Structure 1
Amino acid sequence: MEQKPVYVFAKWQVKEGELDTVLNLLTEVTQKSTAEEGNLFYNIHQSNTEPNTLILAEAYVDEAAVATHRASAHFQDVVIGKVVPLLAERKVILSTRLDLG
């Protein structure tokens, strides 16, 4: 069975007063995540109307690459250990692109 790329969309609602800290931490996470062999892209977006809302759009070559990313030291130490406690809410969706045309 052919492995398809996996797209990850995460919506983070950052606690009031913690945005600068989270953005600084994301600098390291972005650099290390994009260097991963299975990473296709890692983009951070900020809501135009709610500055404390961040959307992460990521893609990996397959599910194994997602698992490798989630097991990495930078994900565990920085995202789980340092960023998640600064979030009021975190929602993550894993998806596969549909080719409908």
Structure 2
Amino acid sequence: MNDEPIYLFATWQAKDGQIDAVLDILRELAVKSREEEGNLFYKIHQGMADKNTIILYEGYKDEAALAAHRASEHFQSMVIGKAVSLLENRVGVPTVPLDI
């Protein structure tokens, strides 16, 4: 497992009429996620041209911390249990920085 910081870029596309519900979930999820031991930051961005597009920028101390986040009760209940049904699409890309 990778022991260097992991940065996740996730794009969520809310279904029409669901953006307010998605943002409500994210407000609570952000608080819980930022409390995780391995979380470095949790930032939420909204598209300027398309308000239904949300970009999450998350940092974790290592791969184990990202795995713990995804296994957490709050992720499972809020993202998997609630948010996914309100989304047209959800894509996450875990990354490591390149030294170039």
**Pairwise TM-score range, normalised by the shorter structure:** over 0.9
- 1:35-86 deviation digits (Å, cap 9, x = unpaired): 0000000000001101000000001000000010000000000011100110
TM-score (norm 2): 0.97
User: CA separation of 1:2/1:63 partners in 2, compared to 1, >3 Å: closer, same or farther?
Assistant: closer
User: CA separation of 1:78/1:2 partners in 2, compared to 1, >3 Å: closer, same or farther?
Assistant: closer
Match of 2:44 in 1: 44
Which aligned runs of 4 or more in structure 1 are off by greater than 2 angstroms? none
User: CA separation of 1:79/1:2 partners in 2, compared to 1, >3 Å: closer, same or farther?
Assistant: closer
Amino acid of the residue matched to residue 61 of structure 1? K
Match of 1:28 in 2: 28
Match of 1:95 in 2: 95
Aligned length: 100
Where structure 2 has 5 or more consecutive residues not aligned to the other structure, the ranges are none
Question: Share of identical aligned residues, percent?
Answer: 54
Q: Distance in 1 between matches of 2:29 and 2:69?
A: 11
**CA RMSD for the aligned pairs?**
1.2
Where structure 1 has 5 or more consecutive residues not aligned to the other structure, the ranges are none
Match of 1:16 in 2: 16
